[in-house]
Amino acid sequence: MPASTVTPAARPTPQEAAAGLWQAAGLPAAALASLRLSGADPVLPSSFAVGTAAAASIGAAGLAAAALWQLRGGGAQQVAVDMRHAAAEFRSERYLRVDGAPAPEFRDKTGGLYRCGDGGWVRLHTNFPHHRDGVLRLLGCGPDPAAIGAALSKWEAEAFEIAAAEAGLVVAALRSFEAWDRHPQGQALRGLPPLTLERIGEAPAQPLPGLPSPRGEGARPLAGVRVLDFTRIIAGPVAGRTLAAHGADVLLVTAAHLPFIAPLVVDTGRGKRSCQLDLRDADDKRTLHKLLHGADMLVQGYRPQGLAELGVGPEAAARARPGIVYVTLSAYGHVGPWAGRRGFDSLVQTATGFNHAEAQAAGSAEPRPLPAQALDHAAGYLLALGAMAALYRRATEGGSWHVRVSLAQTGQWLRGLGRVEGGLRQPEQRFEDVSDLLQTLPSGFGELTAVSHAARLSRTPARWSLPAVPLGTHAPEWLPRA
């Protein structure tokens, strides 16, 4: 049944949604009997099944960790996810507190939705200075929303979207689901699963080491697994945070010249170490290749071909380190005319029809966003799921693997979960409403209050052993394997 025609009665249950993800990951079907998902939509004010998406994606990633634990000789365990908790984790950046104070607003005032001269809308993403300055140059105006609105009144929405893309900027024109389905990129993605795993090289099977004691006390599923984390903002960093929660040694790699959003670094940095390398520098590139030879995974979310142009694409990584699990996040997918286009959650929501559909459900004349960066967060857990599935395949079959997830395919999956009648009447989930789901942790920024991980594993509870720290705190080196 097409996503746009899924009726409330035909909506998949959270368990069915998780089973679909599990099948796409190619993991043993019998493991699904160990997954328990509780709760029902709506849990957030939306006409979409955001709670189901949260519970299913977090649950499937947790179950993949449990499967790896069992593969290492740790035995079976139960995985449980409560939908209210999962929905809170889907909005983890909203509930972040440092020394009791909310995180400062990070969205630039020039960004957001603007009406164009043809009556259409565009969404501008200007949170990075070079994106903001590029948009202003293209419009020929200053950083005042009124001036931007006046300049855009002389443009057609899709014409400005095209001009911005050609300039390497991040802008999306508002579309309905029907318009997106007719668009060449929407057609290119039709039928693709929310995540794909592809064997990209030959390597012998590399079984995960057995547990350090017969009972494996204190160990976790990903203990000793090394992850290079080349990601920013939300989706990719959530993947790394999830892998760290299950015991991986996650080394975040950034560079001093790259922009970042401070509150998101704090929220998604839990459990990671953080170093800085400039891959334009020959010495730093040699350091990266040394790290790569000792890595099990590389997770990256930079613009399409960005790392490949620096010599660290999936094929090059597989040649340098046979058996690597290379994980790629893109905005609009790896096929179709927009395969090389930059984008962020808010833009993909706008371009692919979600903001239009949510506005229609609300009876609003203005586009309406989802009540969470749902594409980002769901994609983060799908990345983690795919990474662990590929690690499972490497251990049992051998090979180097490439995992792909995109925000647009994640949106296609969310759309396929159907609509929730009356969902927009659901009360907002406030900070005080989720106080029982929060934990207090030390960090390199102060005392951190943040949402705990919603996947509850019965034998290996998820936890972050390391505090979130400022970028570049650590040396670019691996910890000794336990």
For residue range 258-296, list pLDDT tens digits in order. 999 999 999 999 999 999 999 999 999 999 999 999 999
Give the pLDDT score at 9.
61
**58, pLDDT greater than 70:** yes
Measured CA to CA in angstroms, residue 28 lies from 9, 19, 23, 82 at distances of: 29, 11, 8, 23
Is 405:331 a contact under the CB 8 Å cutoff? Answer: no
**65, pLDDT greater than 50:** yes
pLDDT band, residue 216 (cuts 50/70/90): low
Helices (H), 90-152: 92-95, 129-139, 145-152
The C-alpha atoms of residue 297 and residue 89 are separated, in whole angstroms, by 24
Measured CA to CA in angstroms, residue 168 lies from 186, 303, 340 at distances of: 21, 10, 10
Is 8:419 a contact under the CB 8 Å cutoff? Answer: yes
Q: Helix, strand or coil for residue 293?
A: helix
Residues 399-448 pLDDT 10s: 999 999 999 999 999 999 999 999 999 999 999 999 999 999 999 999 99
pLDDT band, residue 460 (cuts 50/70/90): very high
pLDDT band, residue 5 (cuts 50/70/90): very low
Give the pLDDT score at 293.
97
Give the pLDDT score at 309.
92
Measured CA to CA in angstroms, residue 78 lies from 14, 61, 461, 463 at distances of: 16, 13, 11, 16
The C-alpha atoms of residue 334 and residue 340 are separated, in whole angstroms, by 8
**256, pLDDT greater than 60:** yes
Residues 333-377 pLDDT 10s: 999 999 999 999 999 999 999 999 999 999 999 999 999 999 999
Please state, as a whole number, how many other Cβ atoms lie within 10 Å of the Cβ of residue 12. Answer: 17
| Strand extents, DSSP E, 425-471 | 438-441, 448-451, 456-457
Give the pLDDT score at 3.
46
Q: Helix, strand or coil for residue 13?
A: coil
Within 8 A by CB and 6+ apart from 217, the residues are none
Please state, as a whole number, how many other Cβ atoms lie within 10 Å of the Cβ of residue 340. Answer: 14
Within 8 A by CB and 6+ apart from 452, the residues are 85, 89, 437, 438, 439
As a whole number of Å, the end-to-end CA separation of the chain is 49
Give the pLDDT score at 7.
58
**1, pLDDT greater than 80:** no
Own/partner pairs for 213-218, CB < 8 Å, 24+ apart? 216/69, 216/72, 216/73, 216/74, 216/459
Edge-to-edge strands of the sheet including 297-300?
195-201, 400-406, 325-330, 297-300, 226-230, 249-254, 272-276
Say if pTM beats, i.e. exceeds, 0.75: yes
Backbone angles phi, psi at 342, to 5 degrees: -75, 160
Provide the mean pLDDT of the chain.
95
Q: In this structure, which amino acid lies at residue 11?
A: R
The C-alpha atoms of residue 185 and residue 407 are separated, in whole angstroms, by 13
Q: Which residue has the tokens 């009144």?
A: 153
Is 243:222 a contact under the CB 8 Å cutoff? Answer: yes
The C-alpha atoms of residue 128 and residue 118 are separated, in whole angstroms, by 28
**214, pLDDT greater than 60:** no
**477, pLDDT greater than 80:** yes
Residues 144-203 pLDDT 10s: 999 999 999 999 999 999 999 999 999 999 999 999 999 999 999 999 999 999 999 999
Q: In this structure, which amino acid lies at residue 364?
A: S
pLDDT band, residue 303 (cuts 50/70/90): confident
Q: In this structure, which amino acid lies at residue 247?
A: G
Share of the chain above pLDDT 70, in %: 97
Length in residues, the chain: 482
Give the pLDDT score at 2.
41
**312, pLDDT greater than 50:** yes
Residue range 30-41: mean pLDDT, rounded: 98
Q: Which residue has the tokens 């390199």?
A: 444
Q: Helix, strand or coil for residue 79?
A: strand
Q: Which residue has the tokens 């409330």?
A: 8
CA neighbor of 36 nearest in space, from 72, 73, 74, 85: 85
The token duo for 62 is: 């947790």
Residues 90-124 pLDDT 10s: 999 999 999 999 988 778 899 999 999 999 999 99
Measured CA to CA in angstroms, residue 324 lies from 120, 139, 164, 312, 395 at distances of: 45, 44, 35, 12, 11
pLDDT band, residue 217 (cuts 50/70/90): low
Residue range 445-462: mean pLDDT, rounded: 98
Give the pairing of strands 249-254 and 272-276: parallel
The C-alpha atoms of residue 388 and residue 378 are separated, in whole angstroms, by 15
- Domains, the chain, ranges and CATH? 3-105+183-457 (3.40.50.10540), 112-182 (3.30.1540)
